[in-house]
């Protein structure tokens, strides 16, 4: 669908539009996505009924201010049931609400998605840190699935298991829904063994460590806690979180850090990270779970390192933004939108691309009659 507005040709995209290799811009080790026009669709909830369309957006979607939403409704960037409405229009339950935005995706590190095995039914890759597996939140094209489609014409793909965005390593993708279901059945029935490696703080014990603490994920805080079972006055266990078990084996240590092999028996959110923290050996660059009582010196050094990295990236980011603003060629590359709250920058507000990947890497999955492996990362030696 094409429209002319303020002498600009606007092409609206939907999830049906596949990513293309020309959608990406690489700069200073960062992969950006050229901003594009996208239709976000939602259906009015019962609690939204009776609110004006501007009030609704101002109260429910706080990423932009009220003046923006007022202008968006007047210009037709926000529509109800496919029609332009006045700012005083009151929304009814179940109506389709479309918000047409100039979408800026968060940047990720410009690392290749390396194909390890390409079979008829299965594809395995080495997932780089900072890249989410599939579309989620603000990420759509800057994902493993999106990059594989854009750069290798591989689609459809069905991720068999989950890796957090900051985690790197082996990722198994089925090439059909039926194959994905087969893998998932094996995982759910306990027939699949998983191995990760981590670089942790301190001298890890030589003997195997088995952690059985329950994992309680707090979605609001975006982090988990490891909690032992509480016992009430009658001797009954009070269950907090979900049962979780991880086995850890030391590979090597230099006293300050250790490389540890991690074998999660269950698959809870942040399980390996929070279990390592609970036994006093958090992942050495995991700002979310580093604890002062474990190793104050390591934590202070890590914070200083992060600050230096952020400062370095801020300088680069400012240079990038200045270059974008001053270069007509780059402006033409991705199109500045006069109503966009992120333009003229490539990245959305709040994303500077300075984050590091976690020192946690998936190296092996094995199941009935199959094994897939991924090479160790550069940080896995001391």
**Lowest-confidence pick of 162-166, 236-240, 357-361, 373-377:** 236-240
Residue in the structure block whose two tokens are 């395995």: 124
- Residue 250: closest CA among 284, 283, 286, 209: 209
**Structure-token pair, residue 350:** 């709040």
Q: How many CA atoms lie within 13 A of 237 on its CB side?
A: 8
Domain 108-192 sits in CATH at 3.30.2350.10
Which is more confidently placed, 12 or 205? Answer: 205
Cα dihedral across residues 165, 171, 172, 175: positive or negative: positive
pLDDT the model gives residue 329: 39
- Dump pLDDT digits (tens) for 160-198: 999 999 999 999 999 999 999 999 999 999 999 999 999
pLDDT the model gives residue 234: 58
* pLDDT beyond 80 at 109: yes
> Class assignment of domain 2-103?
alpha beta
* pLDDT beyond 70 at 312: no
pLDDT the model gives residue 19: 92
**Lowest-confidence pick of 7-16, 33-42, 138-147:** 7-16
d(CA 39, CA 12): 7
* pLDDT beyond 90 at 1: no
In the chain, what percentage of residues exceed pLDDT 70? Answer: 83
**Structure-token pair, residue 149:** 């489609």
pLDDT the model gives residue 272: 97
- Dump pLDDT digits (tens) for 251-270: 999 999 999 999 999 999 99
pLDDT the model gives residue 253: 97
Which DSSP symbol is given to 6?
A: T
Which DSSP symbol is given to 16?
A: T
What are the strands, taking DSSP E only, across 139-229? 158-159, 168-174, 193-201, 209-211, 214-218, 223-227
pTM, two decimals, is 0.82
Do the two domains 2-103 and 108-192 of this chain adopt the same fold? no
β partners of residue 324? none
Which DSSP symbol is given to 256?
A: S
**Lowest-confidence pick of 69-78, 91-100, 322-331:** 322-331
* pLDDT beyond 70 at 64: yes
164 noted as active-site residue? yes
Could you tell me the end-to-end alpha-carbon distance of the chain, in angstroms, rounded to an integer?
55
d(CA 286, CA 274): 10
Which is more confidently placed, 2 or 358? Answer: 358
Q: Quick one: pLDDT band at residue 319, thresholds 50, 70, 90?
A: very low
Check if the beta carbon of residue 331 is closer than 8 Å to that of residue 104: no
Domains of the chain, residue spans: 2-103, 108-192
* pLDDT beyond 60 at 113: yes
**Structure-token pair, residue 333:** 């590359």
- Residue 125: closest CA among 355, 348, 372: 372
* pLDDT beyond 70 at 95: yes
- Dump pLDDT digits (tens) for 12-29: 777 778 899 999 999 999
pLDDT the model gives residue 10: 67
* pLDDT beyond 80 at 352: no
In the chain, what percentage of residues exceed pLDDT 90? Answer: 71
Q: Tell me what the pLDDT averaged over the chain comes to.
A: 86
* pLDDT beyond 80 at 306: no
**Lowest-confidence pick of 37-51, 163-177, 214-228, 298-312:** 298-312
Catalytic residue among 55, 70, 164, 333: 164
- Residue 362: closest CA among 108, 107, 31, 116: 116
Q: Quick one: pLDDT band at residue 2, thresholds 50, 70, 90?
A: very low
pLDDT the model gives residue 320: 43
**Lowest-confidence pick of 34-38, 93-97, 237-241:** 237-241
Q: What average pLDDT score do residues 332-360 get?
A: 84
């Amino acid at each position: 669908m094409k429209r002319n507005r303020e002498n600009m040709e606007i092409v609206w995209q939907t999830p049906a539009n596949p990513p293309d290799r020309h959608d990406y811009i690489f700069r200073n080790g960062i992969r950006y996505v050229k901003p594009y026009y996208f239709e976000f669709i939602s259906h009015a909830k019962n609690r939204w009924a009776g609110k004006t369309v501007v009030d609704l957006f101002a109260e429910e979607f706080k990423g932009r201010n009220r003046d923006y939403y007022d202008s968006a409704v007047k210009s037709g960037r926000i529509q109800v049931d496919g029609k332009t409405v006045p700012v005083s229009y009151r929304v009814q339950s179940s109506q389709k609400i479309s918000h047409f935005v100039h979408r800026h995706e968060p940047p990720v590190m410009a690392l290749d998605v390396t194909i390890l095995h390409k079979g008829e039914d299965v594809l395995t890759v080495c997932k780089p840190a900072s890249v989410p597996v599939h579309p989620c939140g603000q990420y759509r094209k800057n994902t493993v699935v999106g990059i594989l489609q854009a750069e290798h014409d591989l689609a459809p793909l069905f991720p068999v298991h989950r890796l957090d965005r900051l985690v790197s390593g082996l990722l198994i993708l089925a090439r059909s829904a039926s194959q994905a279901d087969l893998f998932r059945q094996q995982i759910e029935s306990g027939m699949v063994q998983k191995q990760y490696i981590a670089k942790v703080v301190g001298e890890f014990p030589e003997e195997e460590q088995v952690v059985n603490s329950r994992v309680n994920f707090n979605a609001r805080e975006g982090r988990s806690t490891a909690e032992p079972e509480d016992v009430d006055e009658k001797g009954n266990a009070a269950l907090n979180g979900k049962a979780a078990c991880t086995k850890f084996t030391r590979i090597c240590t230099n006293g300050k850090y250790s490389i540890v092999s991690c074998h999660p028996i269950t698959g809870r959110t942040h399980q390996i990270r929070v279990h390592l923290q609970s036994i006093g050996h958090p992942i050495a660059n995991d700002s979310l779970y580093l604890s002062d009582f474990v190793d104050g010196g390591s934590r202070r050094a890590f914070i200083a390192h992060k600050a230096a990295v952020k400062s370095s990236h801020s300088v680069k980011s400012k240079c990038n933004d200045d270059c974008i603003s001053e270069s007509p060629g780059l402006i033409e590359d991705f199109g500045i939108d006069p109503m966009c709250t992120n333009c003229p920058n490539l990245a959305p507000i709040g994303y500077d691309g300075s984050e590091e990947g976690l020192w946690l890497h998936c190296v092996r999955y094995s199941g009935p009659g199959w094994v897939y492996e991924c090479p160790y990362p550069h940080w896995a030696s001391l």
